[in-house]
Structure 1
Amino acid sequence: MPPHPLFLLLLPPEITDLIFSLLPTYTSSQTRLLSKSHNQRFQSRFRSIIFTRLKLNLHPATLLQLSRITESGAGPWIQHVTFSSKPFSNLYPKFTSWLISISSQLPPGEFPLEYEDEGNQEANTNIDSTTTSNINNNTTLTRILKNLPNLRSIDFDGSCTITHWQILTTSISNSNISTVETLRSPPVKMLVSELNLGLSTPETIISQYSQGFHKLKTLEMRTEGASGMLESLWLWISTVGRNSLEDLTIRHLREDNTEPSPNTHGGFLPENFSLPNLKRIHLDGFNLTFKDITLLLSPSSASKLEKIHLSKCRMNNNNNPAKNWFTVLTYLKRNTFPNLTSLRLTLSGYYNGLTTYDLPDLKIANEISGKPWNSTGAKCEVRLKSGEWYAYVVKKNLWDELGGYDNNDNDDNDDDINKFWESLTNGKWKSKRATRWKRLIRLREIERSEFGYRSRELREKIMTVSREVDSDCEDVRY
């Protein structure tokens, strides 16, 4: 006996939706064409599958098509948009950047059919002149975003080579859609200067970006640029994240080799910096002062913070990392941070001219168990460089190791600082194996300063340090 032609409609709605969600797009289309009843029943589900997540390249025709989709009434279905710069990502990075910004830079009804740049002939052949000639102000990103009332995330895939995204961020603010929860930058390092924040006054930045980010919860960025530009970037982050930001990840690549100087109020962040709802923070490659730490990890939000990851960050209070990071750790204990389940501080591997000690990397990873760092039995992995290639690893209770140091009003007590690091590393932080890589760097610096001339004495010192072995061997992990 053949099945009933409308048997899908006779099943419970939950089972019907499950079956339809597993069908390929082509089969889903065929199912809708079987009858008016099928079309009526599955139209909403079909649109959800097709339009909920869109992946778009930056071709002008694609932006035009997106504009048509949003204006046709499908805009409310779109929740996630991922931009791709294929096929121009490898050959024409400038052309790719130009494509995303054309709409907002042209007068109504105008569109350049030729892109004036060296080697653009092949790229121009990929553009449909008939289609692109119709692009006008209606295809601006601002206009498109206004027709996406339920847009929740904007992302860039690995093919994108855009080094700035000012057009996108200003379009979000100008559209005032206020639904975007996740914003991720292109995977390449974005030039901080391309955000054009350095020439803007704080009032201008706050005014320009005060709209459109009311529900932003996750912000991920990869940046590159001189440290002098970063205060404006931090102000921008504070502006877009002041209402709802919970998860902040920024990986920064320094351009300058010299240590930058803090601003007039003793930090690299603006004085009024605030992210009151922050729960998770991951910073990589930034210069910070203790004042910046108190702004990023504010006591008022201590009960909310669940994750703190600081990698390759330099504390600029003085040339004494042991003191600086001891002060940070005692600050964390003093303010408890009762829900902190993930703490990672990458302190090793930073050469600042000091060869007498090296600090360990600290890692608490209790995200799955949910056990906070101050709970009984919570272990912290203490990893210290041992020689040039290996590591000395031990597990300690960081909360207990801090002991009563957090009760001291003066964190400058050298005895307390030495006792803490001595106990945490089992005395290995000043061992020959822990400091070997720093001493080798120092000797090679001397060699370079002498224009590559390696005296007999210097050569013997380098060989001696390279061959050092001590009693740490039995504790070393490969």
Structure 2
Amino acid sequence: MASLASLPQELVDMIFDDLSPTNIGKVRLISRDHNARFKGLFWYHVFQPLQIDLRPSCVERLTELGDDFEVASHIHDITIQPRRHQELKVSLITPLLTKAFVGLPHIKNIDIKVAYGTNGFDYWKPVMDAVIKSKRRTVEGISGPRAGIQMSKFKLSESQMKGYHNTFINLKSLDITVSVQCERPGLTERFWSFIENIGNQMERLTMRTTRTSTSIPLPNVYGGFLPVNFNLPKLKELRLVDVAVTPMDLKKLLGNVEMEVIDISQCRMMNPKVDWFEVLKHLRDGNFTKIKELRFMISSQHGSELYDLPNLLIDINGDWTSGGDSCRVILRSGLAKHDTVQKNLWDELGANDDQDEFWSSLTDSKWTLPRATRWKRLQIATETYRSAMSRLGYVYSSEYDGQQAWIVQEEYDRKAAEIREEEALDTSQ
């Protein structure tokens, strides 16, 4: 009878898939052959991923693991999750982390998990500084804190940029959340220069923002937010959430025709109807035939006085160039429901050169119907009301204009009532 140690690796993986490290350890004790065969699997289950907080004592234990070469060789993924309300001693943690990383020559992925509402940069910086000082060029993936890093923090010196560039030469995946109020051209260019600086080998980029302002940011004098010659030559997966971009910026980000995944959600355009059509047309005319997943959530949650598109979702999974209606188009139907249309996006883009004709065909002429625009109209009315009220100042201030506030409130109530009457009439029919 064949022993476990003699089985093919595929069968071993299936058998051991649900076993705990404790049980795998027991298998190692059966014989020398079993120990030799399964000790690597044991260490893998123990240390993948390895999670630490940023207490000095915890980082010192990580250093001790690195002192054992066999153990260190199995530590590839590290999750850094500080304790809640943990006081961070940066001057102490950075050298300790540096020492620990020096002893871990096979680190591939670093995930910094920080609770929402904290300053993500305070945790990002000591970890990145330690990676750079330890010259850990093996790192292939970084997931930054969801708490958000202030965009202004990426104003790095030439030597700092060089340190990032020389260290992250093998970086393939970056997931980063940036905190902004409203993007300013200078800040955004510096941030995207940082991304380009470490992105020569980058294949997967996820970027999202946390913001407090609903204002549409204004691009630079060149009509964009990215540097003029921006390029990520090997990018295959792009995911953006609530990021200020222009069609020109997206064309730069989508510079590699080998793109496989594009997921754009809640990003802001100055002229949505025209701009999003231009981006989609670029994918069709640029012959992006390798796309396996394509998702655009357009105008979601962000109003504009230049309203020209309802909230709209374009969703494709699979080969978007093949025949059949593989594209799912979802748009609002009233305040609580949705309409779904199945289309072939590749064919629609090939058949229409006019944006109005395209959007009409893609949505079966539903994009201008009152029930499709109702949610967006209410959203715009609400945002306009809030903006007007905020400009009036504090209600108990001596400069507060109560009469004007009453006018603003009455105008909003009138618009909201009209929209809700439309909804009630639709529902009753």
Give the counterpart letter for 1:364 in structure 2. I
Q: Tell me which residue corresponds to 2:211.
A: 254
Length-normalised TM-score, structure 1 = 0.74
Deviation at 1:80, TM superposition (A): 1.3
> Aligned partners of 1:452 and 1:34: how far apart in 2?
82
Asked if structure 1 preserves the Cα contact closer than 8 Å seen for 2:109 and 2:141, the reply is: yes
Partner of 2:219: helix, strand, or coil? coil
Asked if structure 2 preserves the Cα contact closer than 8 Å seen for 1:57 and 1:83, the reply is: yes
Q: How does 1:380-391 map to 2 (within 5 A)?
A: 380-391=327-338
Deviation at 1:331, TM superposition (A): 1.3
> Aligned partners of 2:79 and 2:99: how far apart in 1?
18
Deviation at 1:70, TM superposition (A): 0.6
> Is 2:374 the partner of 1:436?
yes
Deviations 1:409-447 (A, max 9, x none): xxxxxxx22222122222221111122233334555369
- Cα distance change of structure 1 residues 22 and 297 upon mapping to structure 2, 3 Å threshold: closer
Q: Tell me which residue corresponds to 2:288.
A: 337
Q: Tell me which residue corresponds to 1:192.
A: 151
> Aligned partners of 1:354 and 1:188: how far apart in 2?
32
Give the counterpart letter for 2:49 in structure 1. R
Deviations 1:271-291 (A, max 9, x none): 232111111110001111122
- Cα distance change of structure 1 residues 433 and 470 upon mapping to structure 2, 3 Å threshold: farther
- Structure 2 unaligned spans of 5+: 390-403
Residue of 370, 379, 382 corresponding to 2:326: 379
Deviation at 1:232, TM superposition (A): 2.0
> Aligned partners of 1:13 and 1:457: how far apart in 2?
76
Deviation at 1:153, TM superposition (A): 1.2
Q: Tell me which residue corresponds to 2:62.
A: 66
Partner of 1:288: helix, strand, or coil? coil
- Cα distance change of structure 1 residues 174 and 419 upon mapping to structure 2, 3 Å threshold: same
Q: Tell me which residue corresponds to 1:215.
A: 170
Asked if structure 2 preserves the Cα contact closer than 8 Å seen for 1:197 and 1:205, the reply is: no
Deviation at 1:207, TM superposition (A): 1.1
Q: Tell me which residue corresponds to 1:468.
A: 422
Q: How does 1:298-377 map to 2 (within 5 A)?
A: 298=255, 301-302=256-257, 304-316=258-270, 320-349=271-300, 350-355=302-307, 357-358=309-310, 360-366=312-318, 371=319, 373-377=320-324
Partner of 1:419: helix, strand, or coil? helix
Q: Tell me which residue corresponds to 2:128.
A: 169
Q: Tell me which residue corresponds to 1:281.
A: 238
RMSD between aligned alpha carbons?
3.4
Deviation at 1:269, TM superposition (A): 1.0
Give the counterpart letter for 2:76 in structure 1. Q
Deviation at 1:156, TM superposition (A): 3.4
Asked if structure 2 preserves the Cα contact closer than 8 Å seen for 1:174 and 1:211, the reply is: no
Q: Tell me which residue corresponds to 2:396.
A: none
Partner of 1:384: helix, strand, or coil? strand
Q: Specify the structure having the higher radius of gyration (Cα).
A: 1
Q: Tell me which residue corresponds to 1:156.
A: 112
> Aligned partners of 1:44 and 1:417: how far apart in 2?
58
- Structure 1 unaligned spans of 5+: 1-6, 105-136, 407-415
Give the counterpart letter for 1:102 in structure 2. L
Residue of 101, 104, 107 corresponding to 1:145: 101
> Aligned partners of 1:341 and 1:9: how far apart in 2?
42
Residue of 403, 416, 440 corresponding to 2:350: 403
> Aligned partners of 1:245 and 1:143: how far apart in 2?
27
Give the counterpart letter for 2:167 in structure 1. G
Give the counterpart letter for 2:217 in structure 1. P
Give the counterpart letter for 1:187 in structure 2. R
Deviation at 1:209, TM superposition (A): 0.9
> Aligned partners of 2:4 and 2:412: how far apart in 1?
87
Deviations 1:247-300 (A, max 9, x none): 1111112244433322233311122321111111100011111221121011xx
Asked if structure 2 preserves the Cα contact closer than 8 Å seen for 1:279 and 1:306, the reply is: yes
Partner of 2:46: helix, strand, or coil? helix
Deviation at 1:34, TM superposition (A): 7.1
Give the counterpart letter for 2:67 in structure 1. E
Residue of 240, 263, 276 corresponding to 2:198: 240
- How many pairs align? 403
Q: Percent identity?
A: 31
Partner of 1:330: helix, strand, or coil? helix
Q: Tell me which residue corresponds to 1:53.
A: 49
Deviation at 1:166, TM superposition (A): 1.6
Asked if structure 2 preserves the Cα contact closer than 8 Å seen for 1:348 and 1:361, the reply is: no
Asked if structure 1 preserves the Cα contact closer than 8 Å seen for 2:325 and 2:342, the reply is: no
> Aligned partners of 1:205 and 1:404: how far apart in 2?
49
> Aligned partners of 1:465 and 1:23: how far apart in 2?
58
Name the stretch that deviates more: 49-58 or 215-224. 49-58
> Aligned partners of 2:174 and 2:4: how far apart in 1?
45
Partner of 2:291: helix, strand, or coil? coil
Partner of 1:305: helix, strand, or coil? coil
Deviation at 1:398, TM superposition (A): 1.2
Q: How does 1:96-115 map to 2 (within 5 A)?
A: 98-99=88-89, 102-104=92-94
Q: Tell me which residue corresponds to 2:77.
A: 80
